[in-house]
């Protein structure tokens, strides 16, 4: 009899699946599974839930029946179709096995393949001994993340790879202690956590499903219930037409707990029928599901034959669906390894290689530093435009940081540069809470004084410090003293700004060096080369600050240029206008009127003139304040500029360009080169490990790219031209495939589906032809 179309399709599916699953198994065997999450199917459930019976029914191989056989490790069951039956057992060392001799011993466990499953229990016991695992729950019994791999092939085997996990249990006994409970739970959660794992959650109809935790555990890691397939075992235990049977039938109809992959039911062997053949077991199962209320269920959801087909299809679809994200994950991991290897640099066992290694770092450091200082952020070190994912992002763009700090410094000097604030000079009062949120303003407590109080204070000082000056003239020493008193905050604000700028530069240097090299080299270069130079740059900054503030502390005011005189004249004029306005009883806005007029008599003018007259001491005090304020206004601008240029640019940013250059490396002697660049043993080990991981990941990428190419099809036309502004068919450029596009443009008619021939033509039409066709 020729095979049916369904069987032919299944065989084609299995052949296709076999290649893909074999490649995934190969990648898992070389350790790619420890680097990225690979698709897999796990079988989990309570002890005595019939989990082993599910595995036996699918594989048609008898596994050891003892409940405590595999309580401490996972068993990977690899099922493949082949003409001849064959079973092979091996061990894959876990990640926790760091001793290479132990790993090699486990890899060498490869007993001769056999065709009968009668020897399987014995071989599994041998594998346990090789892993150092005993059945007793003792402190020294050990737990292993090694994986026992059982490869089973034969003409009646489906194309599947299943990971059988230890059964969950909750009560202790002589053979199963409290330690084992946590071990099994931890192992199950580890596999469920893999987002590419299909979870076969086995629950037994013999036990109340509320007491079987596997569904709750699965929901913790698969909250959308997208990758869990429920398996109900031992349904023949239930009494016909009972409430319990009804509950489990609700599960089967996906009504009680909805799973995207649905539910499946199997009838297990009983104790009495434990020795019957697989064919007899399958026949009894078929008969059971044809009776009673179970007969109302679709044959696709009951029985082991349909489960094999269903699992094959589900697994293949799952793998295909995860291929794009899996390839993306592998590409990310490859990029990460390449970056880390680039940081380690090439192997450097000779002096020439070591010097070349440092020269590469120094040239990159010099180039990127120059970009940072000139505001040309072209290197990848600075990140992409609009990338705010890293807190350190702003500090990488050093020139922007320096400019921001200088602006904050200038604002702080303008606001809190004066020790005392003359109220009449303020255009508005400060909101202290808002001002303290600004940089350099945290500890500011403004002290206000009126012009009248300040003149009185200066007048007292003028009388006490009279010299040989003419009456009404100011003692110039008082101008200097008042200026020094008002400018006292300058040095503190400037010091805070310079140290803050230096810290920003230091942070930039450390970020850049960490970007360019590995941790050991970074530590050595910072400790021996960069940190000492940064400290010298800080000393130079503070020395320059002392130089810039020295004259303001001891010297005499010596203003240069006409700015000072013009400020004095403006201040004197404003003072006289204010006195005249007061004498005439005018508002502040009167002298600003263009079309207003008012007459004054001789008494008014006499009274106004009296306001202009003052004692010689009062006049001198007012002149001292005006001269000090004029000198202060011109000096603070110069001081702020000098801090930004003479201190920061000359003493900090200038030396930064020369802090670590190729010339720096060329000037090092051989001993210093060895101390900085000689590879430590663990660096050599890291490079070797990263090389191995990169090769594994590249092998995985090459493998999956092949299947991704095979599975891809021309789903949508390429976007080879911009859409016309007035186009009647914008959907062409919205990612629709040709069929979806044809449906969208098709006029509504009685026919629900478009003509298949038209779809084929549409998929190959050019843009212009498509437009004319749709017209």
Q: What is the pLDDT of residues 523-548, one digit of tens each?
A: 999 999 999 999 999 999 999 999 99
11 pLDDT more than 50? yes
Same domain as 524, residue 435: yes
Same domain as 614, residue 531: yes
Same domain as 515, residue 649: yes
Quote the CA–CA distance of 194 and 39 in Å, as a whole number: 8
Instruction: Provide, for the chain, the percentages of residues in helix, strand and coil under a 3-state DSSP scheme, each rounded to the nearest 5.
Output: 60, 10, 35
Strand partners, 114: 87
Does residue 624 lie in a domain region?
yes
Does residue 146 lie in a domain region?
no
Domain count, the chain: 2
Quote the CA–CA distance of 207 and 212 in Å, as a whole number: 8
Residues of the chain with pLDDT > 70: what percent? 74
- The residue among 30 and 396 whose pLDDT is bigger is 396
- The residue among 123 and 471 whose pLDDT is bigger is 123
Does residue 505 lie in a domain region?
yes
Same domain as 668, residue 744: no
Among residues 674, 707, 742, which one ends one of the domains? 674
644 pLDDT more than 90? yes
656 pLDDT more than 90? yes
Same domain as 574, residue 665: yes
What is the structure's pLDDT at 565?
67
Average the pLDDT over 606-628 and give the result.
Answer: 67
Give Cα separations from 405 to 248, 399, 401, 477, 526 (angstroms).
70, 10, 6, 35, 25
Average the pLDDT over 559-563 and give the result.
Answer: 71
Per residue in 271-286, pLDDT tens? Answer: 777 778 888 888 999 9
730 confidence band (pLDDT: 50, 70, 90): very low
745 pLDDT more than 50? no
What is the structure's pLDDT at 765?
37
- The residue among 239 and 384 whose pLDDT is bigger is 239
Does residue 548 lie in a domain region?
yes
Does residue 621 lie in a domain region?
yes
What is the structure's pLDDT at 617?
58
Same domain as 567, residue 496: yes
Among residues 674, 691, 716, which one ends one of the domains? 674
Does residue 271 lie in a domain region?
no
Same domain as 600, residue 483: yes
What is the structure's pLDDT at 616?
53
453 pLDDT more than 50? yes
What is the structure's pLDDT at 70?
46
Q: Which helix (H) or strand (E) holds 88?
A: strand 86-92
Copy the structure tokens of residue 462: 């003028």
Quote the CA–CA distance of 537 and 531 in Å, as a whole number: 10
Neighbours of 289 (CB within 10 A): 20
Same domain as 620, residue 502: yes
* Average pLDDT over all residues of the chain: 79
What is the structure's pLDDT at 12?
54
CB within 8 A of 188, min separation 6: which ones?
44, 165, 166, 168, 214, 217
Does residue 430 lie in a domain region?
yes
CB within 8 A of 52, min separation 6: which ones?
63, 65, 164
- What domain range is 474 assigned to? 358-383+395-674
Considering Cα of 752, then 753, then 754, then 755, what sign does the dihedral take? negative
Among residues 631, 653, 674, which one ends one of the domains? 674
Considering Cα of 751, then 753, then 755, then 759, what sign does the dihedral take? positive
DSSP 135-194: SS--TTS-----EEEEEEEETT--SEEEEEPPPB--S--SSS-HHHHHHHHHHHHHHHH-
């Amino acid at each position: 009899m020729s095979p049916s179309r369904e069987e032919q399709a299944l065989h084609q599916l299995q052949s296709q699946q076999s290649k893909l699953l074999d490649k995934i198994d190969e990648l898992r065997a070389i350790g790619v599974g420890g680097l990225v999450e690979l698709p897999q199917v796990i079988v989990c459930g309570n002890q005595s839930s019939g989990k082993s019976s599910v595995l036996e029914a699918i594989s048609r191989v008898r596994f050891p029946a003892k409940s405590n056989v595999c309580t401490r490790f996972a068993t990977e069951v690899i099922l493949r179709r082949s003409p001849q039956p064959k079973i092979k057992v091996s061990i894959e060392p876990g990640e926790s096995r760091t001793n290479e001799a132990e790993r090699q011993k486990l890899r060498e466990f490869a007993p001769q393949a056999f065709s009968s499953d009668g020897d399987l229990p014995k071989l599994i016991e041998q594998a346990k001994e090789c892993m150092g695992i005993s059945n007793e729950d003792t402190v020294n019994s050990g737990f292993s993340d090694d994986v026992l791999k059982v490869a089973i092939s034969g003409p009646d085997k489906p194309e599947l790879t299943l990971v059988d996990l230890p059964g969950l249990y909750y009560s202790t006994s002589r053979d199963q202690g409290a330690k084992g409970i946590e071990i099994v739970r931890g192992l199950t959660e580890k596999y469920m956590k893999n987002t590419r794992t299909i979870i076969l959650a086995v629950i037994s109809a013999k036990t109340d499903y509320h007491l079987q935790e596997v569904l709750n555990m699965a929901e913790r890691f698969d909250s959308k219930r997208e990758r869990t397939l429920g398996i109900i075992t031992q349904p023949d235990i239930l009494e016909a037409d009972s409430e319990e049977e009804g509950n489990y039938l609700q599960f089967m109809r996906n009504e009680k707990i909805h799973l995207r992959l649905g539910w499946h039911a199997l009838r297990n062997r009983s104790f009495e029928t434990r020795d019957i053949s697989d064919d007899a077991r399958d026949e009894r199962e078929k008969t059971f599901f044809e009776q009673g209320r179970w007969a109302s269920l679709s044959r696709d959801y009951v029985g082991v034959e349909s489960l094999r087909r269903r699992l094959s299809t589900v697994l293949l679809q799952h793998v295909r669906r995860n291929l794009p994200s899996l390839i993306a994950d592998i590409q990310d991991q490859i990029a990460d390894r390449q970056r880390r290897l680039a940081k380690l640099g090439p192997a450097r066992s000779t002096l020439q290689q070591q010097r070349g290694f440092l020269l590469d770092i120094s040239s990159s450091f010099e180039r990127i530093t120059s970009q940072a200082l000139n505001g040309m952020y072209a290197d990848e070190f600075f990140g992409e435009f609009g990338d705010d994912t890293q807190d350190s992002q702003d500090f990488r763009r050093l020139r922007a940081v320096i400019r921001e700090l200088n602006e904050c410094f200038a604002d702080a000097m303008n606001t809190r540069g004066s020790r005392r604030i003359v109220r009449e000079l303020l255009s508005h009062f400060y909101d202290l809470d808002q001002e303290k949120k600004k940089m350099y303003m945290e500890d500011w407590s403004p002290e206000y004084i009126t012009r009248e109080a300040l003149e009185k204070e200066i007048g007292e000082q003028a009388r006490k410090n009279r010299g040989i000056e003419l009456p009404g003239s100011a003692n110039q020493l008082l101008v200097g003293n008042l200026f020094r008193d008002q400018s006292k905050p300058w040095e503190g604000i400037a010091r805070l700004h310079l140290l803050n700028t230096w810290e920003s530069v230091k942070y930039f240097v450390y970020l850049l060096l960490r970007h360019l090299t590995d941790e050991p080299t970074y530590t050595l270069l910072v400790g021996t080369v960069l940190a000492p130079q940064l400290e010298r740059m800080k000393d130079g900054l503070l020395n320059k600050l002392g130089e810039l503030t020295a004259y303001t502390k001891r010297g005499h005011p010596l203003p240069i240029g006409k700015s000072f005189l013009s400020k004095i004249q403006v201040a004197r004029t404003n003072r006289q206008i204010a006195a005249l306005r007061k004498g005439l009883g005018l508002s502040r806005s009167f002298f600003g009127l263009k079309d207003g007029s008012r007459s004054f008599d001789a008494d008014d003018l006499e009274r106004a003139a009296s306001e202009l007259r003052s004692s010689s001491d009062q006049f001198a005090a007012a002149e001292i304040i005006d001269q000090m304020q004029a000198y202060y206004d011109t000096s603070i601008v110069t001081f702020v500029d000098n801090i930004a240029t003479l201190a920061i640019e000359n003493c900090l940013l200038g030396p930064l360009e020369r802090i670590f250059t190729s010339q720096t490396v060329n000037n090092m002697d051989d001993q210093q080169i060895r101390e900085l660049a000689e590879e430590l043993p663990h660096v050599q080990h890291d490079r070797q490990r990263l090389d191995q991981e990169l090769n594994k990941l590249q092998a995985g990428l090459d493998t999956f790219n092949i299947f991704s190419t095979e599975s891809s099809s021309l789903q949508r036309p390429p976007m080879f031209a911009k859409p016309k502004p007035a186009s009647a068919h914008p959907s062409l450029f919205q990612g629709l495939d040709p069929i979806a596009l044809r449906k969208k443009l098709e006029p509504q008619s009685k026919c629900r589906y478009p003509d298949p021939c038209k779809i084929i033509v549409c998929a190959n039409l050019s843009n212009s032809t498509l437009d004319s066709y749709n017209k």
